[in-house]
Amino acid sequence: MTFIQKDIPFSGKWFYNYTILIFGAFVVAAGFVFFIIPHGIVPGSVYGLGIVINKLTIGLFPHGIFGTLNPADYDGFFSNLLYQFMDYSNDLFRKYGGGIPVGLASLAINIPLCLIGIKLLGPRFGIKTFISFILCALFIDVVSTWWGFIPLVDDVLLSCIFGGIFIGFGLGLVIKARASSVGTDIIAMIGAKYTGLPLGQLVIYVDSLIILSSLYIKIDWQIPLYSWIVLFIIGKVTDITLQGSTYEKALFIISDKYEEIRKKITEDFNLNGTIIKGNRTLDLKEKSIIFIVVNRRELSMLQDYIHSIDPVAFVSVMETNEILGKGFKSLNERLE
């Protein structure tokens, strides 16, 4: 059975996770309502599919889902509450041009998808996952009713950039809360189980199919091209939100002057690293490899020093996504 981490109810961690979950869901909704939906962009995911469904059903419910209502027919407290709910629902449908609201459409897809996922993949989706996609759908429709469908900025490219940033940041917070956006991820998981294809590759395929489905509404290649930009930005911002934006670089240094370099690192830079023993492929001669993580300033200074004492030294500089351990963020901080 897949491991699902549980929080102690009403503990500090429980409140923290649910706070960032609710805030993350709201930020996702804001990204869609203020930047994406008004321009008809379809950035993959179930919410993108919800946008397609809304466009295809515009005019289907011109008077709302409950039709024309007469307030006089709803006397009494509970009847009045029912009237308020039905009237609000009608107003929501009318705001979406008489089509099925984006949030409601995504919710209608997500719930059966989640149940199918549990049936085929096991109980890997916790209660917070259900809460996350319900909140996202609710916030999208509630904010849409309040704000309407006026883009915050008229420029489509700017909307794609900031919409992607908002949605990516919100999704990152949702995942930090140990929840999931589910949706197309479940389709990809099921596909990976039965086809053996890599999960990440299948997610891209599924989202791309949803993006291309926008051509069914209108043959306009600008929409899918803008949508792929949004999808790319969402992925990058989600990664940055989860892993942080780090400026550290990882270095592998191979030099005959490794002892001098080691002293420079430990004595002048006051840094710690690791010496790995290896053999050169050409003649199997033993070599000492220094592995170290440095910031940009230290990298420049260390490169200058290495070049001054050994111009033929081999230095491999690599990007790092996240550094955990002594001297950096601890693993406990990462998991909190």
Coil/strand/helix, residue 178: coil
Give residue 69's Cα distance to chain centre.
Answer: 41
Distance CA 56, CA 34 (A): 21
**How crowded is residue 129: how many other Cβ atoms within 10 Å of its Cβ?**
22
The predicted structure's pLDDT at residue 329: 58
Pairing of strands 274-279, 286-294: antiparallel
- Digitized pLDDT (tens) for each residue of the chain, 336 residues in all: 344 456 677 677 888 888 999 999 999 999 999 999 999 999 988 999 999 999 999 988 888 888 888 777 787 778 888 888 888 888 888 888 889 999 999 999 988 888 887 777 666 566 888 888 899 999 999 999 888 888 999 999 999 999 999 999 998 888 888 777 667 777 877 787 788 777 677 888 888 999 998 888 888 889 999 999 999 999 889 888 876 666 678 899 999 898 999 998 888 888 888 999 988 888 888 889 999 988 877 888 888 899 999 999 999 988 776 666 665 555 455 545
Strand residues in the chain grouped as ranges (E) = 249-254, 274-279, 286-294, 314-319
All structural domains of the chain? 12-57+100-243 (no CATH), 249-335 (3.30.70.120)
pTM of the model: 0.77
Q: How many CB atoms lie within 10 A of CB 26?
A: 20
CB 305 within 8 A of CB 290: no
CB atoms under 10 Å from CB of 78, counted, come to 8
Q: Are 54 and 47 in contact (CB under 8 A)?
A: no
Asked whether 181 and 47 are in contact (CB, 8 A), the reply is: no
Taken in order 207, 154, 245, 13, the sign of the CA dihedral is: negative
Cα dihedral sign for 23, 29, 31, 33?
negative
pLDDT of 39: 92
CA–CA separation, 136 vs 78, rounded Å? Answer: 28
Q: What is the pLDDT of residue 14?
A: 80
Residue 279, pLDDT score = 86
